[in-house]
Chain A
Amino acid sequence: MEVRRISPTVAWLAILAVVAVATTFAAAVVDPITLRSNGRIVVLVLAVLGIVLATGQTGLVSLGHGAFVGTGAFAMAVLADDVDVPILLAIPLAGGIAAVFGGLVGLPALRLRGIQLALVTLGVAVVFPVIARQYPKLTGGVTGRTVDATVEPPGWMPAPFDEPGSFRFLVCVAVCLVGFWLTYNLMTSRVGRAMRAIRDNDIAAAAYGVDRTTTKVGAFAFSAGLAGVAGALQVMLFPFASHDQFTVFLSLRIYAAAVVGGVASIFGAVVGVAALVVVPAVNEALDLLESETAVFGLALVVLTFVAPGGLVELGARLWRRLRREPPAGTVSSPGDGSESERPERVLRPTASARRLRGDR
């Protein structure tokens, strides 16, 4: 059965409409404190999206995105308070600083096999809070720092976004959408194809003319930049940043959310972050465990066996079974956690070779 394909523009407009309605609804109904505390997790969607880009598209395992979130958060605090940059301008700047940091971290390890990047980033994740404590002028040291600069809604903002809390939430949603749009465009471009070529067989990719180091470092820096923006948004929502928010367990949680959601598509990031919001809420409501972290560890292990493509793959499979379609072998190959998208139309050797070289 041939599924009719929707043009990307229509899809984006539809997503924009749905998100706009949902955001307005949330801002009008949910009380500001709940909105803020959940918003702090929701913005992590950008960090998870960073993992999708780095791990799912390029095959680079990063266990250190929590450190990049922290870099973005502290950069935001410094820029907004010490340098007096307007907050809305400080958000992309903080992302840029995190991207530079990510590139520096990745540069030595990216020249090597993937697993060494996992080691180095895990090291960075463990070291980050320790180093952050050492520079109290920037990070507030042991106690952390508050941020005095705030962003207020402009006068023309209609209700319900004329309150500071809901306006900040709106900014977060808008920035996340922009992040998704940029990432989507990156993934569907020539660079995106080069990234997937590296993931699938980096030696062959190099033979076809892909500059491996530049592509890998670029992808990793962009991915770290997304995480940095998430950290900046966290500080905007709640003007406080402290080293103990950015421990290695934040990094592991971000990675787990990406893999549980599904690292092969950008929807996986949405599903993964939904899990980050829903699982603790359910756990607290039912009073099951002291900490919900175990659920993510277990899900990571079980999903590797059941559905390597994460919850997105599981959902797609269920959907197909409900519609009694034959299981499509093209959607995922068992045991390989990387593919759940359609086979690309450009993979004929001549075409891909041409595109990787850059002439169209």
Chain B
Amino acid sequence: MDLFLQRIFDGLFNGAIYASLAVAIVITFRTTGILNFAQGELAVFSAYIALLLLNPGARTLRGSGLVADYIPGTPWPVPLAIAGAVAAGAAAGALVERVVIRPLARASDLSIVNVTIGLLILVNAVVVEIWGVRGYLLDSPFPTGADDYVPVGGARLRLETIGVWATLLVVLTVLAIVLRHTRLGLAFRAATTNPESAELCGIPLSRTRLAGWIIAGALGALSATLVAHSVVLDPFMMIRLLIFSFAAATIGGLDSPGGAVVGGMIIGLTQSLVPGYVPGIGTEVSLVPAVAAMLLVLLIRPAGLFGTRRVSRV
């Protein structure tokens, strides 16, 4: 029983991380109608920014000298460094939207897929080029010592887990309120439902899309910095997470942020429970149930659990 509870906690911890990246993917998809394959890599880049802000002047870390010389007050406390990374992620999202995505607004879907795949390869290669393939330890903003847990029914609910849950709960709630009850949220919905009519109604389409990419970039950076302590920060950290999050977004429906959260939890729980109770599937193969779950949903409900079904016409 306590083992079961423990697996639930672990699953929900991972699920929260997947959910936040999945929401980033969904927001990009809703606002610009494209899947950003580079979402994870931009997030990795932001996580390295947090690492720099926490370790200025470290001899083995490229760029930390610059940080020590030009950014006052470093090393920053962990929450501030994460805020810095989130800002960097938002800036990266804005930059990509303005420089690469917007000029391609009229291009074919294939062109845009190619561009985001190109960015995935490019950003990953740049991160490898600058910081190498070795792993770094990024500090967590929450207590992570061996004794920092709350015993719940024999299982250990780590304070880090509670912290990550609380952070993402607050962020996603704020986001939900913004999407439902503000002018920006209304503009979002109008821009995705019918871009041309929205523009005729005076909704600044271009700025709405930019806002979508900024929010997505910030969310991606947040998820990367929160998860980096429990995995190791290296250039390939996010590509696995990206698969889990794509699976989460597909399960929830690519155009539903709420669905992405549910999908993330489903994937997280599948990942921690299936290897525990299904013989022959070790923890290392935990990717397999995630991909299988994605395939299953695609077969039964192609639009996802909460997605909008599309009717296509010639």
B110 touching A123, Cβ below 8 Å: no
Q: Given A293-B124, A298-B118, A298-B122, verify A120-B291 contact (CB < 8 Å).
A: yes
CB nearest to B302 among chain A residues = A112
B129 touching A337, Cβ below 8 Å: no
CB within 8 Å: A-B pair count: 142
Bound-complex Cα distance A108 to B293 (A): 12
Tell me the minimal C-beta distance from B120 to chain A in angstroms.
7
Residues of A with C-beta under 8 A to B111: 304, 308, 335-337
Residue from the list A118, A120, A126, A290 in contact with B287, Cβ < 8 A = A126
In the A-B complex, the 5 residue pairs with the closest CB atoms: A300-B118, A297-B122, A297-B121, A294-B125, A301-B118
Known interface pairs A115-B113, A127-B288; 15 further A-B residue pairs with C-beta atoms within 8 A, sorted by A's residue number: A63-B117, A108-B299, A118-B37, A119-B250, A122-B243, A130-B287, A252-B117, A253-B121, A256-B118, A289-B129, A296-B121, A297-B121, A301-B122, A308-B111, A336-B108
Cβ proximity bits B276-314 to A, threshold 8 Å, 1 near / 0 not: 000000101101101100110011001000000000111
Stretch at the interface among A68-76, A177-185, A201-209: A201-209
Q: Chain B CB within 10 Å — which of A115, A256, A300, A301 has the most?
A: A301
Residues of B with C-beta under 8 A to A301: 100, 115, 118-119, 122
A120 touching B295, Cβ below 8 Å: yes
A256 touching B117, Cβ below 8 Å: yes
A120 touching B118, Cβ below 8 Å: no
Residues of A with C-beta under 8 A to B118: 256, 296-301, 304
How many chain B residues touch the partner (CB < 8 A)? 48
CB nearest to A255 among chain B residues = B117
Q: Given A108-B295, A119-B250, A126-B239, verify A338-B108 contact (CB < 8 Å).
A: yes
A122 touching B298, Cβ below 8 Å: no
Residues of A with C-beta under 8 A to B37: 118, 122
CB nearest to B298 among chain A residues = A108
B129 touching A118, Cβ below 8 Å: no
Cβ proximity bits A325-339 to B, threshold 8 Å, 1 near / 0 not: 000000000011110
Tell me the minimal C-beta distance from B70 to chain A in angstroms.
26
A203 touching B314, Cβ below 8 Å: yes
Is B103 close to A, CB under 8 A?
A: yes
Cβ proximity bits A256-294 to B, threshold 8 Å, 1 near / 0 not: 100100000000000000000000000000000111011
Bound-complex Cα distance A178 to B18 (A): 45
Tell me the minimal C-beta distance from B127 to chain A in angstroms.
10
B298 touching A335, Cβ below 8 Å: no
Residue from the list A111, A124, A252, A308 in contact with B121, Cβ < 8 A = A252
Bound-complex Cα distance A255 to B117 (A): 9
Q: Given A123-B243, A123-B291, verify A252-B122 contact (CB < 8 Å).
A: no
A126 touching B240, Cβ below 8 Å: yes
Tell me the minimal C-beta distance from A133 to chain B in angstroms.
7
Residues of A with C-beta under 8 A to B125: 289, 291, 293-294, 297
Tell me the minimal C-beta distance from B311 to chain A in angstroms.
11
Is A23 close to B, CB under 8 A?
A: no
Bound-complex Cα distance A248 to B243 (A): 11
Bound-complex Cα distance A252 to B243 (A): 14
Task: Mark A residues whose CB is within 8 Å of B.
Answer: 55, 59, 61, 63, 108-109, 111-112, 114-116, 118-120, 122-124, 126-127, 130-131, 133-134, 201, 203-204, 207, 248, 252-253, 255-256, 259, 289-291, 293-294, 296-301, 304-305, 308, 335-338
Q: Chain B CB within 10 Å — which of A126, A290, A308 has the most?
A: A126
B291 touching A290, Cβ below 8 Å: no
B239 touching A61, Cβ below 8 Å: no
Residues of A with C-beta under 8 A to B124: 293, 297
Residues of A with C-beta under 8 A to B103: 305
Bound-complex Cα distance A112 to B302 (A): 7
A294 touching B117, Cβ below 8 Å: no
Among residues 78 to 127 in chain B, which have CB atoms less than 8 Å away from a CB atom of chain A? 100, 103-104, 106-111, 113-115, 117-126
Bound-complex Cα distance A305 to B111 (A): 9
Residues of B with C-beta under 8 A to A114: 109
Residues of B with C-beta under 8 A to A123: 243, 246-247, 287, 290-291, 294
Q: Given A126-B239, A126-B243, A256-B117, verify A120-B110 contact (CB < 8 Å).
A: no
CB nearest to A203 among chain B residues = B314
Q: Chain A CB within 10 Å — which of B109, B118, B298 has the most?
A: B118
CB nearest to B127 among chain A residues = A294
- What are 21 A-B residue pairs whose CB atoms fall within 8 Å in the complex? A61-B110, A63-B117, A108-B298, A112-B298, A112-B302, A115-B113, A120-B295, A123-B290, A127-B243, A127-B288, A134-B284, A201-B314, A252-B121, A256-B117, A259-B114, A297-B121, A297-B124, A300-B117, A301-B119, A301-B122, A335-B106
CB nearest to A333 among chain B residues = B108
Bound-complex Cα distance A154 to B119 (A): 48
CB nearest to A123 among chain B residues = B291
Residues of A with C-beta under 8 A to B106: 335
Residue from the list A59, A256, A299 in contact with B110, Cβ < 8 A = A59
B128 touching A290, Cβ below 8 Å: yes
CB nearest to A115 among chain B residues = B35
Bound-complex Cα distance A252 to B111 (A): 15
CB nearest to A204 among chain B residues = B314
Tell me the minimal C-beta distance from B99 to chain A in angstroms.
9
A122 touching B35, Cβ below 8 Å: no
